[in-house]
Amino acid sequence: MALPQIPVLDKEQATIFRSPPEPKDIQDPKRWTFSFRYWRQIQYFGLDHSDSGWFVSLLERLSALSGEEIERFLCDRGKINSWRYHQIDWGTKNIPIQLKDLDWLPSYFRDNPEEYTLVQFQISRALGRVVGFWDRNYIFYIVLLDPLHNIQPSKNHNYRVDPCNPLSCAYTHLLHSLDQILETKCNKKKCEYAEDIRKIPNGRDMLRESNVLMVKLTDEDIEYSMFLVKGGKTLGEIFRDGLAQNYNSE
């Protein structure tokens, strides 16, 4: 499979996208840094019951942790307790998933649980948990969001697991529908339609191999974009040119 082509930036654009150098005399200790690269929604860990206030609370908690020094946090029993930070106990009664069910994680993470231990911390006592793991560069990869406390069913709630499902946008709904079509089996031998369907890329593979940004455009924006496309530009080039123009104006 051919690798995606990396866009070539001219010198002016390269300057815009280059990170500024860190001052040599400042040695800032490592603080919490998050990645959503391996985050997924699955049954019991979806966001269909979460309102806008929940998302604000999540972002506020991630912001608060981003200011915490990792080493100091992990050595502070008070912080660990207040954030409900601990390893996932896969033997908990009624736990609805197991480590093997996280099949979208690369095998070297999933098959080395002692080195890449799945842990949780709380958004709040009422708003659930965040589940993820640390990599060797001290980046915390968020794997699951658990707004209903399903990852560690509690004895205080009779080990109840509450149902919730993935919250879809139009794009993810399309990919989910595509996956369902791909999993449908045709009973007709040598069915031409079935063979054609099998050639369609899997929806999850499409998500991993591409970056998708959904934006709301006016009719005028669409019309002008199509005018530029007819002139030879790609939508990606239009987007990058717009970024470059805004950076130059600052």
Identify each DSSP E strand in 102-181 by its residue range. 119-124, 128-134, 140-146
Arithmetic mean of pLDDT over the chain: 81
pLDDT at 157: 81
CA pair distance 188, 46, nearest whole angstrom: 36
- Given the DSSP bridges, would you call strands 119-124 and 128-134 parallel, antiparallel or unpaired? antiparallel
| pLDDT band, very low/low/confident/very high, at 187 (cuts 50, 70, 90) | confident
User: Which pLDDT band holds residue 202 (cuts at 50, 70, 90)?
Assistant: low
Q: How far apart are CA 236 and CA 244, in angstroms?
A: 12
Which of 3-12, 43-52, 132-141 is predicted with the least confidence, judged by mean pLDDT?
Answer: 3-12
Instruction: Give this prediction's pTM.
Output: 0.63
Closest C-alpha among 221, 2, 39, 19 to residue 142: 39
Q: What is the pLDDT of residues 46-79, one digit of tens each?
A: 998 888 999 999 999 999 999 999 999 999 999 9
Cβ contacts of 79 within 8 Å, gap of 6 or more = 68, 73, 85
Residues with Cβ within 8 Å of 46's Cβ and at least 6 positions away in sequence, in order, are 164, 165, 166, 167
- Please tell me the least confidently modeled range out of 35-44, 125-134, 139-148, 195-204: 195-204
d(CA 19, CA 176): 37
Residue 206 has a pLDDT of 57
Residue 29 is given by DSSP the state P
pLDDT tens per residue, range 5-21:
544 555 554 454 455 55
Measure CA 40 to chain center.
Answer: 6
Kindly report, residue by residue over 151-178, the tens digit of the pLDDT: 999 888 888 999 988 887 666 667 667 7
